Structure formats: C-alpha cells, structure tokens
Amino acid sequence: MKQRFIIGTLSVIALCIVVGCQSDATSDTNTTTTTAQEEKITEAEKIALGKAIFFDTNLSDPVGQSCASCHSPEAGFANPDHTNPTSEGAVVGLFADRNAPTIAYSQYSPEFYYDGTGYVGGEFLDGRASTLEIQAGGPPLNPLEMHNASKESYSSKIAQAAYAGEFKRIYGQTIFADANKTYAAIGDALATYERTSQLSAFSSKFDAFQKGDANLTAQEKLGLDLFVGKGKCFVCHPVANEDLTTVPALFTEYDYENIGVPKNPNNKFYTLPSEYNPDGENFIDTGLARNPKVIADGRVAQSRGKFKTPTLRNVELTGPYMHNGVFTTLKQVVSFYNTRDSDPARWGAPEVADNVNKDFIGDLNLTNEEEDALVAFLMTLTDGYSH
C-alpha cells in the first residue's frame, strides 16, 4: 500500500495525485483559402467542436446515441439511466457488461503505468485506454455502445455533420481522406472538450467550504470527520490541498482495488446472445486483468477483480454504483463498506475472490447514524452549489 498524506488542518495520511493534462493553448493549421494563409486555431474553437461532437446523436448506428447519452452533465457525466445496472447501447436491448463511469475530472488521471506495486491511471474502469484521446475512440466502434461498423463509417458521419466545415478548417481540408487521421482528430477534439472546466468544475459545497465560503451542517461535518477517520475512506479517496495552490481534492488516487463487490444477478449483459457474451450467466468480470497491457506484462493473477478507484465528486448523481451497478443508493454503498465482512450473508460472495482488499474495508463498526452522516458528506461533493 502506497504512503498517503493530507495537506491542511486534517492530520491524516493520504496521497493526492495531481496530474495536469491541459492541452496547448493554441495550434496552427493551414487553411485552403485562395491565399493559402496560415490561420491560428484557438483552443476555444477546438473545445466548441469537441462539444458539438460529444452531443451529436447522429454518430451512432442506428442514430440516436451520443457520447452524452451515457455521460450526461445532469448525471455528473455518467449514465442518466438509473433504471438499468449497466449501460444500454444504440441498439435497443443490447447492454454493456459494465456501468458507464463518470468522465468528470478524468483529465487528471495519469497515463496508465505500473508504479512497482500496482497499476495507476488510464481511462475506462480497467485502464485499457492510456489517454482521453484513445478512450474517445472506444465507444464509437463497440457493438454494445455506439455500434458503428468501422472507423470509415463513423468518420463519414462526421464528414456529413453540420460542423464538418469547421472540422476541416481546424484539422485540414484533406482530413477526411484518411479515416485513421480523421479518427485521431475526433479523439483530439473530444479530449480537448473533456479537459475543460465544464467537466471539472470544482464547484461543490465542499469546495466552497474549503474556501471559507460555506459551512457544513453538523451531520455533514460528522461525515467529513468519519471520512478522514473511522470510516477510512480517505485512504483511497484522499482529501487534500487546503491552500488550493494546486488542483483541489480529486477524491481518488486513480489506482486499482478489488473491494469484493458481489455479482449483480440483474445485469442484463448475462442474457445477451452468445456472440456478445459466450459465457452467459457464468460471465465473471475480472476487471484490470482484462487490460491488454496487464496481460502483456504477465501480471494477470495480481490484477484479477481490481477496478479503477473512481472520483467521488458528483457521486450523488452517478448511480447505480460499482462496475456492475449492483448498488442503487449511496446508503447501500456505505453499508457495504461498513459490513462486508461482519455481515457477509447480507452481501454475498465477491464476484472475484482473488486480491480482495481487507485492510480498510469490511468491518468498520459504523453506526446507522454514522453511515447516514457519511452519505450526507458525500452529497456535498456535487458540483453546482450556490450559496
């Protein structure tokens, strides 16, 4: 377990990984005006293009699903459909094996790497995409998500969009001649948008509290005390940077843990045809162990059952919870952390029994009142707080 620290008045130990992932302020590209004049492309223009692509529902097959369909701002940039444990794709009735995670604050996740004791960073719940640019290329071709047949078919939709002229102005008039280059440019535009404050607002009540602009209620304050104390939440979800000279608390280390989450019998992926799920109800999600880099590194055994530690920012909005959506409320999540080991019959066996973290989870001896206080504190992490 890595050493962790906490900066400020809370005298506990935690680690805050802060990685700046901002893109360059400007880039230059050639336009094909009659004078062939070089024109400066601003980051704001790239952001606007990326946002247009992000919300475009004409880019799936069949049409109707956009990036925002599974990463809605109203749902903390996670799936707004709280009725299904995992995410439904563009094709009605086809469900992914996992719940779509929030992409808010994902810009701060470092590129996927092994730190000597475990893996850190990357995108997706198993880190298989090292960067936001690579991650953006996954869902469009996934048959259980946006369902496009190829890079060519997906890129052709961009070429027919209302913003195609802007796309060519920014990335070059011949960009659509090469589907691979088009695909990379799409990822660049989406990542540029995803690295904006629109997805990383730091505008919660907790942020206002850290700045001295808001007071926590007695219950919320108790929840914070438990979070950094008896509840041990801070170990994997650190609170730091009281002076705000760097990025405020991200509430994750972006590392990987198996916390013993049970299988979800309501996961609709289990019932999909064998072409999508050959294992049927016997499917086991081994998480990080499915990452091609982990397989190539020969570290499958030590990675089984581990998933990326999510940020807790906007967690009030991002249910259902865990990779398979097995928990529908924050109260259930906190109760699971509290009693996983002291009341195992309530929760069932872990989906993957290997590598289960038993150091900070499972028998916290929290009272019902303390569980409720932790939930109250977690709800102070929702962006959009106003005084």
At 2, the pLDDT band (50, 70, 90 cuts) reads very low
Q: pLDDT at position 39, please?
A: 57
Q: How far apart are CA 306 and CA 295, in angstroms?
A: 14
Q: How far apart are CA 297 and CA 278, in angstroms?
A: 26
pLDDT over 80 at 30, yes or no: no
**Does the CA dihedral 254-352-317-136 come out positive or negative?**
positive
**pLDDT tens per residue across span 252-278:** 999 999 999 999 999 999 999 999 999
Phi, psi torsion values for 30, nearest 5 degrees: -90, 135
**pLDDT tens per residue across span 132-181:** 999 999 999 999 999 999 999 999 999 999 999 999 999 999 999 999 99
Hey, which residues does 307 pair with through a beta bridge? 257
Cis peptide before 110 (omega within 30 of 0): no
Give the residue among 24, 54, 41 at the shortest CA–CA distance from 168. 41
pLDDT over 90 at 310, yes or no: yes
Q: How far apart are the first and last CA of the chain?
A: 39
Hey, which residues does 29 pair with through a beta bridge? 39
Secondary structure (DSSP) of 68-125: HHHSBGGGTTB-S--SSSS-B-SSTT-B-SSPPPP-TTGGGSPPPEE-SSSEE--BST
Secondary structure (DSSP) of 257-310: EB--PBP-TT-GGGGS-TTT-TTGGG----BGGG-HHHHHHT-SGGGTTBEEPP
| Alpha-carbon distances of 383 from 208, 224, 276, 312, 318, rounded to whole Å | 10, 17, 37, 11, 12
Q: Which tokens go with 181? A: 């280059």
Q: Residues 94-111: what's their mean pLDDT?
A: 96
Q: 3-class DSSP state for residue 148?
A: coil
Hey, which residues does 317 pair with through a beta bridge? none
Q: How far apart are CA 240 and CA 250, in angstroms?
A: 8
pLDDT over 90 at 31, yes or no: no
Q: pLDDT at position 135, please?
A: 97
Q: How far apart are CA 279 and CA 270, in angstroms?
A: 8
| Alpha-carbon distances of 323 from 74, 343, 383, rounded to whole Å | 20, 22, 23
Q: pLDDT at position 246, please?
A: 65
E strands, the chain, in order: 26-30, 38-42, 113-114, 119-120, 256-257, 307-308
At 40, the pLDDT band (50, 70, 90 cuts) reads confident
**pLDDT tens per residue across span 326-342:** 999 999 999 999 999 99
Give the residue among 76, 10, 24 at the shortest CA–CA distance from 249. 10
Q: Global pTM?
A: 0.88
Residue with the two structure tokens 């960073």: 121
The single-letter code of the amino acid at 342 is: S
Task: Please give the DSSP secondary-structure letter assigned to residue 334.
Answer: H
**Does the CA dihedral 139-132-355-258 come out positive or negative?**
negative
Q: How far apart are CA 375 and CA 321, in angstroms?
A: 14
